[in-house]
Amino acid sequence: MKPPLLFLCHRMPYPPNKGDKITTFNLMKYLSERFELYLGSFIDDEFDNQYVNDIKAYCKDVKFIDITQRRHVASGIKSLFIREPVSTVHYRSNELQRWVHDTIEKYNINYLFVYSSGMSQFVDFPEYTSKKRVLDMADVDSDKWRQYCENKPFYSKVIYAREYKLLKALEQRVLRDFDAVTLITDEERDLFRSISPKVFSEKIITLSNGVDTDYFDPSASFDYTDRPAVDGPSICFTGAMDYWANEDAVVWFCEKVWPQIKEKCPELTFYIVGGKPSEKVKKLSLNSGVVVTGRVVDVRPFVMHSALAIATLRIARGVQNKVLEAMSMAKPVVMTSMAQEGIGLPLSQQPLVLDNEEKMASCILNLINNSEQLQTIGNQNRDWIIKRYSWNGALSPLDQLYPREILK
């Protein structure tokens, strides 16, 4: 029999259609092969309710708390009075807490795996110090808020600075009390080590992202319920479009780079593909040749139709799934250095990492007009991803976190 493990994550790990859900889905899949899995999580999107039974196929038991009506603004106001990070307050739930306590006791669970620092609160109790507690922090979230603070208007800097300080304190407390903290890249690992007491350095390890190379395969069968509306040449950006870093990325591209491209290649279309586009993102469709799709069933037809993908993030943490997925689909990816963080690239792809808008526009135009180069870079990207970024290889460090006799 497989031993029981409690797995907590802040968002239902299905469907695997965006960053953290892709990661948590593959974590769930990997761990379910080794443990009897007890999953506790939240539903923050009504769209996800239809997938509850898909999750149950991987788990012995599940507990979902619906927070679709809960707003971060309200959580933020509440957090002001109790000096806790907004993310901790937003995911607080007496119902989930009771389920966690009851489940651990009933099934005598000794292995606790938590994704996202905001979920650590559910197992942060003295009676659990003897259990194997691991937090997958993914990235140094506090440093992301520090970056936000530097890039936000003066009237909101105080709020972002407060969240940065509170999250930093939470991360350090978890590092002290838990058995291990995992981060998505060696760069994130080294950053966290640099701001943490040296005595805890060995607790901080890399647990990187991977990509499903069978799913993100140019020869795979696609769901064409949603598809590009224009037959002509296109490029694309994929991601959750209510996420500020993605919003900033496409707004910057449309303001600084796209006009230069459109002037010389008027037939080109730029697809912004992803759910819940903010008002700023929706307004980008007013630009000539820009299409904001909103939520789609499958991003692959848009990537496949595109000559190349872009990943123009200027604030980012960890490995960008959008980059791995497009490379796995045999596409060149024109990206910023922030988007490339933590991802090794083949030689032909490396010159496509650019932060200057003029150079980026020129690079995209050159590629669009060179089908042979597009194919060469794309094929090398696909081969590179298959060899280096499969999920089994990415998650193998889990073998270090639990006894070897379990992970067989």
Angle, helix 19-32 to helix 321-328, in steps of 10 degrees: 80
pTM of the full structure: 0.78
pLDDT band (50, 70, 90) for residue 407: low
Domain check: are 177 and 303 in the same one? no
Asked whether residue 383 is domain-assigned, the answer is yes
My answer on whether 371 and 395 are in the same domain is no
Cβ proximity of 351 and 363 under 8 Å: yes
When pLDDT is cut at 50, 70 and 90, the band that residue 236 belongs to is: very high
* Selection from 9, 199, 186, 2 nearest residue 107 by Cα: 2
Whether 121 and 22 map to the same domain: the answer is yes
Q: Is residue 221 part of a domain?
A: no
Please tell me what DSSP assigns to residue 257: I
**What is the identity of the amino acid at 364?**
I
Indicate whether 265 and 376 sit together in one domain: yes
269 and 165 co-located in one domain: no
The answer to whether residue 352 sits within a structural domain is: yes
Query: Can you read off the two tokens belonging to residue 210?
Result: 């991977």
Residue type at 368?
A: I
Q: What percent of the chain has pLDDT over 90?
A: 72
Are 20 and 108 contained in the same domain?
Answer: yes
Mean pLDDT calculated for residue range 119-134: 96
CATH number at residue 354: 3.40.50.2000
pLDDT of residue 402: 78
Report residue 229's pLDDT band, with 50, 70 and 90 as the boundaries: confident
- Whether 229 maps to a domain, the answer reads no
Q: Could you tell me the pLDDT band of residue 403, with boundaries at 50, 70 and 90? A: low
In a shared domain, residues 201 and 248: no
Residue (of 12, 2, 21) closest to 50 by Cα position: 12
Are 126 and 259 within one domain?
no
Contact 153, 68 (CB under 8 A): no
- In the chain, the percentage of residues whose pLDDT exceeds 70 is 97
pLDDT of residue 163: 85
Categorize the per-residue pLDDT at 132 as very low, low, confident or very high, splitting at 50, 70 and 90. Answer: very high
Rounding to the nearest 10 degrees, give the CA dihedral for residues 362, 314, 15, 292: -50
Question: Average of pLDDT values for 236-251?
Answer: 94
What lies within 8 Å, CB to CB, of 249 at 6+ separation is: 237, 239, 311, 312, 313, 314, 336, 339
pLDDT at 405: 55
Give me the pLDDT at residue 364, please.
98
Structural domain including 373 reads: 234-388
Q: Does one domain contain both 285 and 383? A: yes
Residues 197 and 109 in one domain: yes
Q: Which of 368, 369, 372 is nearest to 380 (CA)?
A: 372
Domain-located, residue 227: no
152 and 101 in a single domain? The answer is: yes
Sequence-distant (≥ 6) Cβ neighbours of residue 214 within 8 angstroms: 220
> 182: which residues sit within 8 A by CB, 6+ positions away?
134, 135, 136, 137, 138, 204, 205, 206, 207, 397, 401
How many other β-carbons are positioned within 10 Å of the β-carbon of residue 227?
15
Instruction: Establish if 219 belongs to a structural domain.
Output: no
Q: Structural domain tally of the chain?
A: 2
The tens digit of pLDDT for each residue in 157-207 reads 778 888 889 999 999 999 999 999 999 888 899 999 999 999 999 999 999
Question: Is the residue at 262 inside a domain?
Answer: yes
392 to each of 16, 54, 212, 237, how far by Cα in Å?
16, 21, 10, 27
User: Same structural domain for residues 258 and 126?
Assistant: no
* Res. 68: pLDDT tops 70: yes
pLDDT at position 269: 97
For range 216-224, the mean pLDDT: 90
Q: What are phi and psi of 223, to 5 degrees?
A: -85, 110
- Is the per-residue pLDDT at 408 higher than 60? no
Is 373 a domain residue?
Answer: yes
* Residues facing residue 4 across a β-bridge: 36
Does the pLDDT value for residue 371 go beyond 80? yes
